[in-house]
A and B are shown apart, each in its own frame.
Chain A
């Protein structure tokens, strides 16, 4: 019985059905299924889709579909885990945004999705995010990682500015900084003192793991 619900939950994610996934998560809790187990099958499902994408069998809409389905069930399960006083299984908290002056959103949104699918808790600040807003969010959400996207050579230097403010506020050693976006290079990332750079969103999710040794 409980196995069947968990099977269905996994299937809902594999079939990108957000509403169904949320309902099944609720049902699982009603039937007193261990929320940690539910979380496990969800992560497994998303990983399966991620692997399919990696092998070139599945496409972006599949990946995003699975991540979304997981995201819709996630808060329900997390709440229960917290209620039980168990520790929420997250790889870490990541604050993401496109820097000030830059409204390019496509890559940044992909990064958010893939980080969430990987098992991170993600706060998407959107585009045109000022340095002050980044700092505020890092503090508020106790972020483990700050991920910034910049698509233009004109806006990339904003990242340097954010890092400088992190230092000034004594936050720099509390948060890892990763950067990306079309106009960036590994060299630039090093130069501005970021902890990591990756040219792709899937690579970014793996990079986040490495940065936190997870």
Chain B
């Protein structure tokens, strides 16, 4: 048993030709061989040199022979399993399986003013619980829902966030790094007998890897965990303004990361993350909600298929809208379906509000319908003797024949139709009589219901809980000793912990 996700039952959408995929691939090999990538790590540079890369130690620049690159791409498994706390939540990653991942946001949103503000500890834990209850949300991303909660020191935000997810859900979660916190993240997941995918190998575009990402990659592989390679190009700022050009630099960054991973530990379960955007040429910010992201992602999915490495798409993770409104719906719904029909294995939808800066549980609930709707679409149309129903059609015949009272209808309608949880599907009279409610109102109500009734099944055992607390304590002491938690922060933190 494993998390089922959704299965795409038809050929994926392609927007570039096979020759164009090849041209991009050649471009990537060319950039890796002639321009190279900067790796700010002696340890990595030595390993590259040992494997016939050309290494310029002064500039920390590595140039890759194409043969090695191709070999390392082949070493990545095309599909693999990762372990969650419960086998029912394990993921089998690869091929036609699509999983929906929550989108991280820094803060929560005040529903009266729509302004972002830090989440409280209770809001963090409650939101995780809500996310645990949603059937079409298959796993957590790192720093979802929020980047920590109020009153905790910066360095403890990631470990405290992971602990909250382990405590209030048994769905699989990715995690991340900063200031060595991956040490404690790894200990926590191991203590509860699960794995995590750390988005460790994170490039800083253009064409650079800093030491912290590389160190985290070494640690992740030592712990025998799967790993995510990641980058975040802004076309026109940290990559070329053209989609094709940014496909080259972005993928070259990821592939360089893959080479390092597969040299350290051949066969490592690797998946490709990434966060591409055109630049908003007014503010300089990534253009969240721009259709250019989908053009990029759909072509990128074709490249990942060629490499046979699972990947994720983020086009539907955020909109530029600050509210849960029409713009937010179309800027995320359209990209989400484009990602699903074009072959991404992971798609971010749930909960993301403006530009990675906010998340909200009501948005999670609304998005669960979006995910369900898209999931139903990619499962496609079943054509069999039974669904064609020729015998039944013969039996029912013309008017006054009727299908509503047939067993075939009772058996099939629920499989064929997607029934949304919170969308308004009422007729006008029903709608007027029930107080003219919208999807937003229903989502709010569902949030309250979930909070009142949902239980994490099974909850952590006492000894697991003790382990988590012990590891958090260790982290706190580690950062206190390093001077990264000031006395003032410590006093506030202690109050939050009570």
Contacts and interface: CB of A to CB of B under 8 A. Distances in A.
B234 interface: yes
Given A60-B279, A154-B179, A106 B154 contact: no
Contact of A153 (B154, B179, B234, B282): B154
A59 B238 contact: no
Contacts of A106: 234, 237-238, 279, 284
A207 interface: no
A103 B282 contact: no
A78 interface: no
B238 A157 contact: no
Interface string A30-63: 0000000000000000000000000010011100
A92 interface: no
B282 A59 contact: yes
A110 B284 contact: yes
Contacts of B147: 153
Which bucket holds chain A's interface residue count?
Answer: 10 to 19
A105 B357 CA distance: 18
Contacts of B236: 61
A200 to B, nearest CB: 8
Q: Is the interface of B mostly helix, strand, loop or mixed?
A: loop
A60 B282 contact: yes
A201 B283 CA distance: 9
Contacts, number: 38
A196 interface: no
A154 B284 contact: no
A103 B179 contact: no
Contact of A105 (B155, B238, B282): B238
A60 B287 CA distance: 13
B210 interface: yes
A128 B208 CA distance: 13
Nearest to B179: A154
Interface string B173-211: 000001100000000000000000000000010001010
B383 interface: no
B178 to A, nearest CB: 6
Nearest to A128: B210
A162 B80 CA distance: 47
B204 A154 contact: no
Contacts of B204: 103, 105
B14 to A, nearest CB: 31
Given A56-B282, A59-B281, A154-B155, 13 more contacts: A60-B281, A60-B282, A103-B208, A103-B210, A105-B238, A106-B238, A106-B279, A107-B284, A110-B284, A153-B154, A154-B154, A154-B157, A200-B283
Interface of B: 106, 147, 154-155, 157, 178-179, 204, 208, 210, 234, 236-238, 241, 279, 281-284, 357
Query: What are the nearest 6 A-B pairs in CB distance?
Result: A59-B281, A154-B154, A60-B281, A103-B204, A106-B237, A110-B284
14 contacts: A59-B281, A60-B279, A60-B281, A60-B284, A61-B236, A61-B241, A101-B179, A106-B279, A106-B284, A109-B237, A153-B154, A154-B179, A182-B357, A200-B283
